[in-house]
Amino acid sequence: MNYLLSPYTLGDLELKNRVVMAPMTRSRTPNTIPSELNALYYAQRATAGLIVAEATNIDQGGIGGPFTPGVYAEEQVEGWQKVTQAVHDRGGLIFLQLWHGGRVSHPDNIGGRDSVAPSAIAAKGKAFTPNGMKDHVVPKALEISEIKAILQQYKMAAEYAKAAGFDGVELHAAFGYLPNQFLSDQSNQRTDEYGGSVENRSRFVLEIMEALCKVWPSHRVGIRLAPSNIYNDVLDSDPPALYTYLVQKLNDLNLAYLSLMEPTVKEHENPNFIYQVAEYFRPLYHGTIIGNGGLNQEKAELMLEQNHADLIAFGQLYIANPDLVERFRLGLPLSEGDRRTYYGGDERGYVDYQAYADLNS
């Protein structure tokens, strides 16, 4: 059986297949307002069962990278309406991923203001800025009142996403951004109710999810986690303990899905490292799981067949193959993406990849 191409009921949504377009930053929104170019990009890929649009900033003070879109102003809502309308016109469904960069929001990307984090600990590595790659800076440790204000920003962003015509929202709680920074004992060394125990370090993420579920029905809200993430310097010392607690608490919310990123490395020095993420959490999570991370069609089918996931998200494969579902259906060869045009630029390497039928017509 071809599981990938079979339909799937996601809450009250009927997905035409189990192929998800993963959220991918492409840095094609220079003024934070989505344009006709962005609308075309997503519309070209609307045959996916579900699109999760790229990480989108919930506030100007949390911009995670240059040339990325926002969802905190009316003009941005109007821009996103072009995107959602284009996707819906082609019979697609689309969620929006909500993003706050936290300590990796370099001052050059946020108007010179301080980046913020649970603790005043700089991330290792460099930030992508309009002025080139720069070292991450030491962030300002958030006060309780500031944490509460950011929770309201997430809630408002969810309101704006609804006004923009999205079918749901996803919290980006992975890859070393602000929610992930609260989860990790490497980046979170607070001693108040948001730090210390796994319960306290999970509090911020759970409060965000509760806020989102006040705006949207819970079955239209998803979350993305990466328990084996090594990106942006936030790997926890004991991922099984932390994420087992968090995932079990997420069960109570009746969410649309839990999206889980597989590790990008085959070996790690952490003795508690989780190598098969979806398989590990499948018995613990009672709802829909989206598997993601370095998967091809064969590996995806196996993951579905073994019931380790219900849906599969593809990232890089979608860059050069807007007709990815059709190529899977017919067993057609896949086009290779040009890494030089993954981030930033114009329509080249963005909307000029052709469907297989057009390449060979």
CA-angle at 299, arms to 298 and 302, nearest 5°:
90
Measured CA to CA, the distance from residue 134 to residue 113 in angstroms comes to: 15
| Cα dihedral 102/103/108/113 (nearest 10) | 70
* Beta partners for residue 259, in sequence order: 224, 290
Q: Report the SS3 class of residue 325.
A: helix
Catalytic residue positions, numbered = 177
* Beta partners for residue 225, in sequence order: 260
Radius of gyration of the chain (CA): 19
Measured CA to CA, the distance from residue 332 to residue 329 in angstroms comes to: 8
Is the CB of residue 54 less than 8 Å from the CB of residue 12?
A: no
Measured CA to CA, the distance from residue 179 to residue 189 in angstroms comes to: 14
Is the CB of residue 342 less than 8 Å from the CB of residue 319?
A: yes
